[in-house]
Amino acid sequence: MARKLGLNLYNRGHTCDGYTLFAPQAGTNVFLIDMRGDVVHRWELSHRPADYGYLLESGNLLVGVRTGQSPVDFGGRGGLLLEMDWEANIVWSYEEPTLHHDFCRMENGNTMVVGWELVPTDLARRVRGGVAGTEHSHGMWSDYFREVNPQGEIVWEWHCHEHLDSEVDAICFLCSRNEWTHTNACEVLADGNILTSFRRLDTVAIIDKQSGRFEWKWGRGELGHQHNPSPLGNRNVLIFDNSMHCARHSGSPGSRVVEVNPRTNRIEWSYETRPPWDFFSGHISGAQRLPNGNTLVCEGVQGRIFEVTREKEVVWEYVSPFLADDERGRVNMVFRAYRYGPDFPGFRNRSLDAKRHAWLNHLYGSDAF
């Protein structure tokens, strides 16, 4: 379904109002917009974003950027993590060429990051799945998690290849063997454990940080190359199921958002469309549960961000108008988006006046709303 750029829908009284943050993948800006779709603040980056950024309670932006120094050309590559203040001054950074996809600022002030590393050759040969003969020139890559302190020192690390089973955790048979896991999420939970997503394995998992063992693994036969698992207040997990290469599909592909109960492995809520192709993003993308029970969805490939109620009614819709050229063509793709309420601590004493960005907002006016 073709949709116009900018704001398409704002059903007042049914939305969870606030400000939405997103970083167009092919640009060099991070935008904060209001419910009318007007830009109220932006951060200009020196490099393209390595997928996305999010706001800390201080109002600072934690964002990954591409340095061009990655040892591989896989999707999600970055290399540099920046913390920027409201005026876009860099107040902290951590650089490592293998960094990719995700990161998480922890309650103790440290930061959890994800990076690539090679699987030992003997183990790589035993990993099942994938298209034969498609290994990277260096071998098979997997991922590590590292906790780094404010000084950039590594204080804890975990290696996927040491905990996965080479037979059970098989690569999707339609994917290449250049990567085993393709980790695309890293969320440190309140208890210190780590919620993650292995795209190539159609698996979301919780890693027990103390033992290194898996506390929960789920998704085989149900998910299709998912993204962005996030914890909910009821202890369930919200997931964007891209539904690529998915066994449960019997026809045209369509994505969905699911809320799964890790204690029972039952899906307790989902959002999808009929026909299924009205809502589909084969990669990137995410979802956020909002305080009023609505869900903010980022349909990443289309650059579409929308809010849906528990009853599955779309009540707000915005399509990123910020197009730019990259190796894929002219795109407006968005990896993730986040909504922040008007009372968010980071907005205290900050200007959120759309008039300061009148030149941008004039191009994509929302007078109808």
| pLDDT at res. 77 | 97
Q: Judge whether 328 lies within some domain.
A: yes
Q: Judge whether 369 lies within some domain.
A: no
Is 30 within 8 Å of 83 (Cβ atoms)? no
Q: Three-state SS for 198?
A: strand
Q: Judge whether 202 lies within some domain.
A: yes
| pLDDT at res. 164 | 98
Which residue range forms the structural domain that includes residue 204? Answer: 6-361
Q: Judge whether 159 lies within some domain.
A: yes
pLDDT in tens, 96-113: 999 999 999 999 999 999
One-letter amino acid of 58: S
Q: What is the mean pLDDT of residues 181-204?
A: 98
Is 317 within 8 Å of 337 (Cβ atoms)? no
CA distance 191 to 188: 8
Q: Judge whether 367 lies within some domain.
A: no
Task: Round the average pLDDT of the chain to a whole number and report it.
Answer: 95
More confident residue, 252 or 360: 360
Place of tokens 């290194």: 212
Q: Judge whether 366 lies within some domain.
A: no
For the chain, where are the alpha helices, taking DSSP H only? 121-126, 358-363
CA distance 201 to 142: 12
- Number of domains, the chain: 1
Q: Judge whether 268 lies within some domain.
A: yes
pLDDT in tens, 127-147: 999 999 999 999 999 999 999
Sequence-ordered strand ranges (E) for 177-294? 183-188, 194-198, 203-207, 214-218, 227-231, 237-241, 256-261, 266-271, 286-289
Instruction: Output the pTM of the full model.
Output: 0.97
- % of the chain at pLDDT higher than 70: 96
| pLDDT at res. 247 | 66
CATH number at residue 116: 2.120.10.30
Place of tokens 């706001």: 55
Exposure string of 228-264, with b = 16+ CB inside 10 Å and e = fewer, is: bbbbeeeebbbbbbbbbbbeeeeeebbbbbbbbbbee
